[in-house]
Amino acid sequence: MTDAKKIRVELFTSNLCSRCKQAKQVLSELVVELGEQNFELEFVDVVKHIDRSVEQGVLSTPALVIDKHLVSTTLPRRQELKTLLEDSIGQSS
């Protein structure tokens, strides 16, 4: 997969969010497992980037955005998250 076809994965988080740390960890692990070369991963602090968060439709944390689409507004189970990422790879290839 070329760099231009990387899947953009954004996890919107906040310091007060008890599940965000776990979400970051699981997402980081899955990105490695599925091939870091496939993803462009970014963790976004909603407090520091509130306009961007609201424009993206993020109303709570953690929220997952894949290729500009808000795909999850809760902490998904590991397998669900893996499926989401795998599907993204499938759609982009």
- Name the strand (E) or helix (H) holding 31: helix 20-34
Largest CA distance in the chain: 37
Does residue 9 touch other proteins according to CB under 8 A? yes
Does residue 91 touch other proteins according to CB under 8 A? no
DSSP state of 66: E
Give min distance, CB of 60 to other proteins, in A: 4
Give min distance, CB of 80 to other proteins, in A: 20
Give the binding range for other proteins (CB under 8 A) out of 49-57, 64-72, 81-89. Answer: 49-57
Output the CA–CA distances (angstroms, integers) from residue 89 to 19, 28, 31, in the order listed: 25, 16, 11
Partners of residue 40 on adjacent β-strands: 8
Q: How many residues sit in the footprint of other proteins (CB under 8 A)? A: 29
Does residue 33 touch other proteins according to CB under 8 A? no
Q: Which residues bind other proteins (CB under 8 A)?
A: 6, 9, 14-18, 28, 31, 36, 39-50, 53-54, 57-61
